[in-house]
Structure 1
Amino acid sequence: MNRTVSRAVVLLASTAVATTGLAVLSTATHAAEVGENCHVVTTGTADWAMRTSFNSYLEGPIANGALYKYKGGIEVRDGVETSGERATRQFTWPVSGSNDGEINFGGGVHWTGHNHYTGDDASQAPDNFILDLDISNPTIEFNGTQATLLVDYKSREFVDTTTVAGFLSGTQAELATITLDEAIDLTTPSVTVIGETVPTAAGVDVMGGFYPAGDALAPITLNLTNEVVCDEPQEPETPETPDATTGSSEGGILGIVGILAALGGIGAVVYNYLVSAGIIAAY
């Protein structure tokens, strides 16, 4: 293949490569502009004590006083932080993620009291708490100023202070409805919203029947931070054009044919032109 032909082939192939590259770049740029590569990352906490009177009762002399050989209390786990005691007890739940109209929190809280076991085998005590409630992984589904609080739970039905009843359990059960003081806006950098919580009919079962429907639970305060994160669009890889002036004539032609094949439709047009002009033989 002479030098003039080689230059023509290289020029045509380079034009095809550049045209294809521009098309890919244009598509990637458009995707970034319309936000296809962007998403909101929500972090923060929810301050929610479940019910102040419940915490006060559980940590007082009735549920965990001198009457009981083995005592329970309140345990937190998986990122939940707690402060205060009895009427001032507070729990801070960490945000674990968010979607459109939904905020997920992590961690769990375990309340135990009224231990019915009086024997000497301490390993039996954990199975004999008459009051035994565990709540974890809260989710808030919201629409405007109305929201629903869902939780994973395991709870004993509360009959009386001498009966160890069976456990009830569920995943993402509706514990309470929430009336927010303002709508949650995950497009703003920071959000602080307060909501009043009231147990649903299902929430009564979640709490072991300890409180009737309609009794207010503790208010909830959401402290959220939202950040828009965009992934950088990947730039297309441009195939290297072989040097037509080096190597054997057959090797150079095969290399160019390979490049044209990789370019798809544009490559096919260039290839057909080269064949019709007699510059290369059909392969």
Structure 2
Amino acid sequence: MAATRRPTALAAAVATAAALGATFALPAIAADGPSPKAAAAAPSVIYQLESGTFDWGLKESFRAMIDRFGGTATLADGATRNEDGSYKFPLDKGEYALGTHAVTSSFKGSVHYEAHGGALDIKLSDVKVLTVGKSGRITVDVTTKSPGKDAVVTDDLAMADLDLTDVEASNGVDGMKFASIPVTFTKEGAAVFGPPYEEGEPIDPATLTVKPLATTPTEQPTGKPTEQPTGKPTEQPTGEPTGQPTGQPTGQPSTNPTPSGSETAEPTSGPVVDGTLDWGVKASFRSYVVGPIAHGKVETSGGAATATDGYRFSKATGHLDADKNTLNAAFKGKVRFLGHETNGEYVLDLSLSNLKVDIEGASGKLLADVSAKDRGTGKVAERTGLALADLKVPAGALAAKDGIVNLKDIPATLTEAGSQAFEGMYKKGDELDALNVAVSLDEDARLPGGSTGGSGSTGSTGGSTTTGGTVGGSTTGGSVGGSGALASTGSDVPAGALIAASGIVVAAGAGVVIAARRRRNATA
């Protein structure tokens, strides 16, 4: 527990007022709370909670990452681990205020994550939940520590939002159970774990179980329920009738495929004389490498360079066969991801080079030479021509226009072999960054970006470029991608800012809790 704690420590709830109202035979309320008239008419009655649990695992992929890096997740103060790897926090105390339909409670237990030789040190404790109507929020005390620095403690940080819109409570011997509540990161919660995680990102669902005392107050409200229908049909016409023509006749037969940007494209075959491949691998991975967890950097060399939203690989060679509708193209360049430095050595060391696209019809593969260090043993494995991703190519996309085949925003998904290259950080079928491929069949043709087909593509042709990196929470180095300095998203959030943000979270419930307690004390 932190030494300094705000007086609103119990301003959090463990169930929706609507669901609790049904269980206690109380009047239902609208999603935004009871009307002033209903609140004034309701008696000052407090229902105590006898027992309960809160089951939540934060995020499965984060737990898996801790395991892969040889880290630990230490449970204490009453928290236990479920079979699926999530955590169970037992109820500490809780109560339900009839007049305001507010439920307040807190849970025992803590989980302490440590990895990367102390570079990652995060402890979560004093879990609470605030719910109003069909929405809610999880708050926790967060303790973070960086090597060589004092621990930073933030009380009641707004970690995540709950959505109980489609959650129905069930009753059993353990009380009311709200299973599989959808949970998403808040901005403040995502900032605790770094750039791979973003505001609004779905994380592990939560299950809440609460049980009231066997004896409950008999006093009930005398007024009639004030709930009024709050919803109106929202479906409105969203556009013009879809059965109307959206364009003018072009006079061209509609049976010929004409991919975007290739209206005059004609079947062409021949050797590839030059070309570029623009690819960012995976945006969240780039952010992870240079963020506050890995504290790493990205290096490009051998014909690769940083480009808009990723990296550009250049000097393509290969062959296009229009009759077979195939394209094979290889690109020069190497990108190397380094992270988790310990005593001058990087635990994370992954290189991709000699990228190739192998397309046949509407499908294809992205291949690369992969060098990856095993994070457990430290040994480096070299694999040549590894199929990293599956590609989905639009029909007719391989038709050349003015000597250029230009493939834009080609979807890519990770293969099983690609998942192994990332040591299981991402799973087969996970979406990667889309590819942009431009290859030239004519030495005089001009590639996108300004270079001619036979003179070498734009981008670095040698040397090494390093981007990203964070030192002690401050960002150094350049950007990963041309349009935004992704490294800057990895800076630590000041404790003062997090405390201020969490104050907003509990402010709404503070008055409810204090008022309920004052009424209870006056009655006593």
What is the TM-score normalised by the length of structure 2? Answer: 0.30
Indicate yes or no: 2:407 matched with 1:193: yes
Aligned partners of 2:292 and 2:388: how far apart in 1? 28
Aligned partners of 2:423 and 2:368: how far apart in 1? 14
Can you list the C-alpha shifts for 1:105-163, whole angstroms capped at 9, x where unaligned? 1110000000122xxxxxxx2xx3111100000111110121101100101235xxxx5
Select which of 361, 379, 386 maps to 1:173.
Answer: 386
1:103 positional shift: 0.7
Select which of 421, 427, 445 maps to 1:206.
Answer: 421
5 Å matches for 1:146-157? 146-157=363-374
Select which of 428, 431, 456 maps to 1:216.
Answer: 431
Select which of 291, 304, 307 maps to 1:60.
Answer: 291
Can you list the C-alpha shifts for 1:63-113, whole angstroms capped at 9, x where unaligned? 11xxxxxxx4100001112046xxxx4101113301243011111000000
5 Å matches for 1:92-241? 92-100=312-320, 101-117=327-343, 125=344, 128-158=345-375, 163=376, 165-185=378-398, 187-188=400-401, 189-194=403-408, 195-227=410-442
Work out whether residues 104 and 139 of structure 1, in 8 Å CA contact, stay in contact via their aligned partners in 2.
yes
The ranges of structure 1 where at least 4 consecutive aligned residues each deviate by more than 6 angstroms after the TM superposition are none
Aligned partners of 2:315 and 2:397: how far apart in 1? 14
Work out whether residues 110 and 132 of structure 1, in 8 Å CA contact, stay in contact via their aligned partners in 2.
yes
Can you list the C-alpha shifts for 1:242-280, whole angstroms capped at 9, x where unaligned? xxxxxxxxxxxxxxxxxxxxxxxxxxxxxxxxxxxxxxx
Percentage of identical aligned residues: 26
Aligned to 1:78: 302
Work out whether residues 46 and 95 of structure 1, in 8 Å CA contact, stay in contact via their aligned partners in 2.
no
Indicate yes or no: 2:261 matched with 1:47: no
The secondary structure found in structure 1 opposite 2:429 is coil
1:199 positional shift: 1.0
Aligned partners of 1:96 and 1:193: how far apart in 2? 14
The secondary structure found in structure 1 opposite 2:273 is strand
The secondary structure found in structure 2 opposite 1:216 is coil
Structure 1 180/83 Cα, relative in aligned 2: closer, same or farther at 3 Å? same
Aligned partners of 1:223 and 1:99: how far apart in 2? 13
Work out whether residues 389 and 418 of structure 2, in 8 Å CA contact, stay in contact via their aligned partners in 1.
yes
Structure 1 184/95 Cα, relative in aligned 2: closer, same or farther at 3 Å? farther
More helix by share: 1
Aligned partners of 1:133 and 1:151: how far apart in 2? 12
Aligned partners of 2:404 and 2:440: how far apart in 1? 4
Indicate yes or no: 2:310 matched with 1:90: yes
- Greater gyration radius: 1
Can you list the C-alpha shifts for 1:181-217, whole angstroms capped at 9, x where unaligned? 3444265412221311111111112223221111111
Work out whether residues 157 and 209 of structure 1, in 8 Å CA contact, stay in contact via their aligned partners in 2.
no
Matched to 1:45, the amino acid is: T
Work out whether residues 157 and 205 of structure 1, in 8 Å CA contact, stay in contact via their aligned partners in 2.
no
More strand by share: 2
